[in-house]
Amino acid sequence: MKIARRAQAGTMQSSDIMVFAEPGDELIIEIDSTVAKQYEHLIRAKITEVIERMNVTSGIFRIKDRGALDYAIAARVEAVISRAQEQEA
Amino acid sequence: MHSYITGEAQIREAVSLLKDAGLDYDPAHEVFLGIYEDGRLIASGARDHNILKMVAVDEEYQNTGAFSEIINALITDAFQAGHDHLFVFTKPMYTFHFESLNFTPLCTTDKVAVLEFGKSIKSYLENLRNLSRRGRNSGLVMNCNPFTKGHRFLIQTAAKESDFVYVFVVQEDKSIVPYQDRLDLVRRGTAELKNVYVIPSGEYAVSRITFPSYFLKNKEQVTKQQIETDLRIFGQHIAPAFNIIKRYVGEEPICEFTSLYNEAMKRLMPEYGIKLVEMERKTAGETLISASTVRRLLFDGKHEEMKTLVPEATYEYLLKNKDMLRARFDKFSKSSK
């Protein structure tokens, strides 16, 4: 499955994460995080896990994290993928 | 929750909030949002195209979530309007606040800090990395509206005196000759120069972001600040990515505004180890070659005279597209009044 259109999920509140998705030829995950130094690898692992579970094979994901916990990351990534599949209204 | 700031009384309240933060009210914006608590404005922020401005938070609410809430509202609104690459101009002392919301600093002068959100100059340069060459290279930033023999002479000279040459063509589509056509004419006009790369400037050189007044007719709005921002981005980010140690420009005897830009280059480029090479304008007979002269000759129907100033490909293009260019000229001169 590919990212069909641009979508966004999440907020910039502390402990949340904002995720942007857009179509792309390969799978790219760009992570900006206030806690990148300590946790970037864990954030990436979580995002990759959700993307794989939802069978997404290509698309660009831009992540703006403000210290979100695992379940918040998973929920936001899931939401952005669902939105990126919806038909244009 | 945020709401739109509209109406005289609300705007007056916002102006006072901005004043406390040391900011001026700027009427050029598409949306102006505010957060109210008990009917009182505690935070504001506006967006013009993909530029965020007038972001201010009441002093009492500095350490609440008000700042991230207003930024969040602006980003969400901008995304819905189709902008996923945002810029903010702020005071250097506020850089840290934006950084904590994942904005990336692009450039700082003593008065202004520019940060970006969404995409970044890092990824712009990353995408161009396959064009990066070792050597003593040169760079040129040009609008080429349209590409003349003067532009070609400047590029040829740079090509002779450098290992590789990077020509950044202004990507902002606000000139009479459309961006894609300008780029195409530069590529065709330099095709025989094997060590020259022609690259779109993205939003990072002489763009609506780095240098808004370049596209305004009103010279009073040309600020030294903008020129400095534009040049520092070039020196700090673009030049090192391509090993650029010289920047070539044509002398500017006519346009006061471009000569101001050239003066600033002389002062700032050496800070980044870049030598400025300013070359005398090429002439065709008695005429100084300039793109504005070419446009005037085209619209005055003096095609033979024009022919001596431009390469063959540009000449053919101009004749073929005269009506389209005329229409764009009319449109731009109307909108800038």
Q: For the segment B98-157, what is each residue's pLDDT rounded down to a tens digit?
A: 998 999 999 988 878 899 998 889 889 999 999 999 999 999 999 999 999 999 999 999
Using the predicted structure, report yes or no on whether residue A89 has a pLDDT greater than 50: no
Q: For the segment A4-55, what is each residue's pLDDT rounded down to a tens digit?
A: 999 999 998 889 999 999 999 999 999 999 899 999 999 999 999 999 999 9
CB pair distance less than 8 Å for B72 and A12:
yes
CA distance B64 to chain A (A): 11
| CATH classification at residue B328 | 3.40.50.620
Chain A residues contacting B, CB < 8 Å?
A: 6, 8, 11-14, 18, 20, 22, 30, 32-34, 62, 64-66
Centroid of chain to Cα A29: 8
Which site among A3, A11, A12 would you substitute to test the B interface, given the most B Cβ atoms closer than 10 Å to its Cβ?
Answer: A12
Out of B100, B118, B123, closest to residue A20 by CB? B118
Cα nearest neighbour of B123 on chain A: A30
Out of A12, A22, A30, closest to residue B75 by CB? A12
pLDDT computed for residue B84 by the predictor: 87
Among B64, B92, B119, residue at a domain's last position = B119
Give the mean pLDDT of B94-99.
91
Using the predicted structure, report yes or no on whether residue B72 has a pLDDT greater than 50: yes
Quick one: what percent of chain A has pLDDT higher than 70?
97
pLDDT computed for residue B214 by the predictor: 59
Same domain membership, residue B115 and residue B195? no
Residue B196: how many CA atoms within 13 Å on its side-chain side? 24
**What predicted TM-score, i.e. pTM, was given to this entire model?**
0.83
Residue A2 lies in a domain: no
Using the predicted structure, report yes or no on whether residue B300 has a pLDDT greater than 60: yes
C-alpha A75/C-alpha A47 separation (Å) is 10
Q: How many CB pairs under 8 A join A and B?
A: 43
Q: What are the tokens at A79?
A: 């939401």
Give the mean pLDDT of B45-66.
91
Out of B71, B72, B102, closest to residue A32 by CB? B102
Which chain B residues are Cβ-neighbours of A34 within 8 angstroms? Answer: 100, 102
Which chain A residues are Cβ-neighbours of B123 within 8 angstroms? Answer: 30
- With the C-alpha atoms ordered B19, B22, B26, B30, is the resulting torsion angle positive or negative? negative
Same domain membership, residue B153 and residue B281? yes
Using the predicted structure, report yes or no on whether residue B1 has a pLDDT greater than 50: yes
Residue A70 lies in a domain: yes
Instruction: ipTM value, please give it.
Output: 0.75
Using the predicted structure, report yes or no on whether residue B188 has a pLDDT greater than 90: yes
Q: Given the structure tokens 């002489």, which residue do they identify?
A: B206
pLDDT computed for residue B95 by the predictor: 92
Q: Worst-scoring range by mean pLDDT, B17-26, B71-80, B192-201, B315-324?
A: B17-26
Cα separations in angstroms, B256 against B51, B123, B174, B190, B231? 27, 35, 20, 28, 18
Same domain membership, residue B302 and residue B168? yes
Among B119, B137, B167, residue at a domain's last position = B119
Same domain membership, residue B151 and residue B26? no
Quick one: what percent of chain B has pLDDT higher than 70?
95
pLDDT computed for residue A30 by the predictor: 92
CB pair distance less than 8 Å for B69 and A14:
no
For residues B226 and B133, the model is more confident at B133
CA distance B181 to chain A (A): 26
C-alpha B309/C-alpha B152 separation (Å) is 11
Which chain B residues are Cβ-neighbours of A30 within 8 angstroms? Answer: 123
pLDDT computed for residue A88 by the predictor: 53
Which chain A residues are Cβ-neighbours of B69 within 8 angstroms? Answer: 12-13
Total number of domains constituting chain B: 2
B127: contact with A, CB 8 A cutoff: no
Same domain membership, residue B168 and residue B309? yes
CB pair distance less than 8 Å for A62 and B75:
no
pLDDT computed for residue B273 by the predictor: 96
Total number of domains constituting chain A: 1
Using the predicted structure, report yes or no on whether residue A71 has a pLDDT greater than 90: yes
Among B119, B152, B177, residue at a domain's last position = B119
Residue A57 lies in a domain: yes
Using the predicted structure, report yes or no on whether residue B221 has a pLDDT greater than 70: no
Give the mean pLDDT of B231-237.
94
Please name the amino acid found at residue B179: Y
Out of B76, B84, B104, closest to residue A6 by CB? B84
Q: Worst-scoring range by mean pLDDT, B194-198, B255-259, B290-294?
A: B255-259
Range of the domain at B318: 123-335
pLDDT computed for residue B141 by the predictor: 94
Give the mean pLDDT of B260-279.
93
Q: For the segment B325-335, what is each residue's pLDDT rounded down to a tens digit?
A: 999 999 888 76
Residue A34 lies in a domain: yes
Same domain membership, residue B200 and residue B166? yes
Residue A1 lies in a domain: no
pLDDT computed for residue B64 by the predictor: 85
Q: For the segment B191-216, what is each residue's pLDDT rounded down to a tens digit?
A: 999 999 999 998 888 777 776 655 55
Give the mean pLDDT of B158-181.
95
Which chain A residues are Cβ-neighbours of B75 within 8 angstroms? Answer: 12, 18
CB pair distance less than 8 Å for A8 and B68:
no
Q: How far apart are the first and last CA of chain B?
A: 38
pLDDT computed for residue A57 by the predictor: 94
Q: What are the tokens at B99?
A: 């950084």
Same domain membership, residue B326 and residue B201? yes
Q: Any idea what the Cα angle at residue B184 is, between residues B178 and B187, rounded to 5°?
A: 145
Mean pLDDT score of chain B, rounded to an integer? Answer: 90
C-alpha B221/C-alpha B224 separation (Å) is 10
pLDDT computed for residue B217 by the predictor: 47
- For residue B95, report the phi and psi dihedrals to the nearest 5 degrees: -50, -45
CB pair distance less than 8 Å for A66 and B68:
yes
C-alpha B199/C-alpha A23 separation (Å) is 23
Range of the domain at A60: 7-85
DSSP class of residue A68 equals -
